[in-house]
Chains A and B, each alone.
Chain A
C-alpha cells in the first residue's frame, strides 16, 4: 500500500503515536519514522506470518492487533492493513486503547 504525504502526515499527527513502520507482506519497509526500522519490519513480518496459526487453532477471526508490552508503559503495536501491516510505538504518557482507536479511525479513512 502506498500512502500519500497527506495520509502519512495524518498518521504522524496522531497524539500518543511515537513513530511507525509500514511493512509489506515480505517484510519490506514501505515507510517509517522509527529507529531500528529494518529490525522492526522483520518483527512485523514474523508476526504477520505467525498469527494465522494462532487464529486457526483458536478458530478465530483474523487478529485485530498485537501489543508488545514493555516496562514503563512503553508499547509497540502491530495492526494488519490489507496485505501490509503497520507497527507503531505508543508514547509513555498515552493511553493504549485510545491510541488503537485513533489508528483504527485513520486506517478506516484510507478507504474513503
Chain B
C-alpha cells in the first residue's frame, strides 16, 4: 500500500498522505515525521466526521477539500470506514490530485482487501472475529427507520432535535453507529446509547433537559 501512496507524491506540491480507518487506526502513512501518529489520528477523526456529514447530504460525494493559508487537505473515502487523507501546499493542483487518486482507486481497494493487518504506525488493529456464520449487522440508518427499535430511536432523535436543533440528526446517527459497534441492538442496551448522546451535548443544562425528556417518553 505504501508504494501506491508514494505514486501520489509525483504530483507537484503534495506533502504526503495517510490512510485512516475508523474508529482510530492508521493503516499507512507517508507524511514527514513531524506529523506524529496522535496528530494524524485526531485530524483523521475530525476530517472523517466532516466527510461523513457531507455524505449524508450528498450521496455522490467524492472528495472534501479544506483550504488553509498554509496547506490544502483532501479527504476521500476509499473503502468502508477507510479514508485517504492527502496533505499538500496551498496551491497544489487539486484536480491533478483527485485525478491521480481516481487512477489509483482500484489499487487501493485491492491492497486493502489483501492487507495482512500490519500497521506501520504501530497502532493496534482489531482482531478479526472468529469464523462463524456471519449475519450482516444492521446499519444505524436501517435500525432507525425499520428495526424493532425504530420507534424508540426516533423518539430519542426527536428529543435531541428539540434540545440541540438541526445537528441532532447527524449527531444521533453517529452515536447510534458507535453504539452498534459495541452493543447488539436491544432495548436493554439503550441506556448506553443515551450515555453516548449525552456526551455529545456540550451544554450541561441541555444534557439534563434531554435526560428529562427521555424519562418522560412512554
Contact = CB atoms under 8 A, between A and B. Distances in A.
Given A43-B56, A54-B47, A69-B98, A61 B61 contact: no
A87 B149 CA distance: 35
A70 B63 CA distance: 7
A53 B51 CA distance: 14
Given A43-B53, A56-B42, 16 more contacts: A26-B164, A26-B165, A40-B57, A45-B167, A50-B46, A51-B46, A54-B73, A57-B39, A57-B40, A60-B69, A67-B64, A67-B65, A68-B54, A68-B64, A69-B62, A69-B63
27 contacts: A26-B165, A27-B164, A28-B165, A28-B166, A29-B166, A39-B169, A42-B169, A46-B50, A46-B167, A51-B50, A54-B46, A54-B66, A58-B43, A58-B68, A58-B73, A61-B68, A61-B70, A63-B66, A65-B67, A66-B50, A67-B63, A67-B64, A68-B63, A69-B62, A69-B65, A70-B58, A70-B62
A41 B45 CA distance: 21
Interface residues of A, number: 36
A24 to B, nearest CB: 10
B68 A60 contact: yes
A2 interface: no
Please give me the 4 A-B residue pairs with the lowest Cβ-Cβ distance, nearest first.
A53-B46, A57-B43, A61-B69, A46-B53
A46 B49 contact: yes
Contacts of A69: 61-65, 98
Contacts of B46: 50-51, 53-54, 57
Interface of B: 39-40, 42-43, 45-47, 49-50, 53-54, 56-58, 60-71, 73, 87, 98, 164-170
A88 interface: no
Nearest to A68: B54
Contacts of A29: 166
B204 to A, nearest CB: 16
Nearest to B39: A57
B68 A63 contact: yes
Contacts of B45: 53
B49 A50 contact: yes
B61 A55 contact: no
Contact of B67 (A36, A53, A64, A74): A64
Nearest to B98: A69
Query: By CB atoms of chain B within 10 A, which of A43, A45, A54, A66 has the most?
Result: A54
A53 to B, nearest CB: 4
Interface string A66-90: 1111110010100000000000000
A27 B62 contact: no
Contacts of A43: 53-54, 56-57, 170
Nearest to A60: B68
A47 interface: yes
Nearest to A45: B167
Query: By CB atoms of chain A within 10 A, which of B61, B87, B168, B169 has the most?
Result: B61
Nearest to A24: B165
B71 A60 contact: yes
Contacts of A51: 46, 50, 66
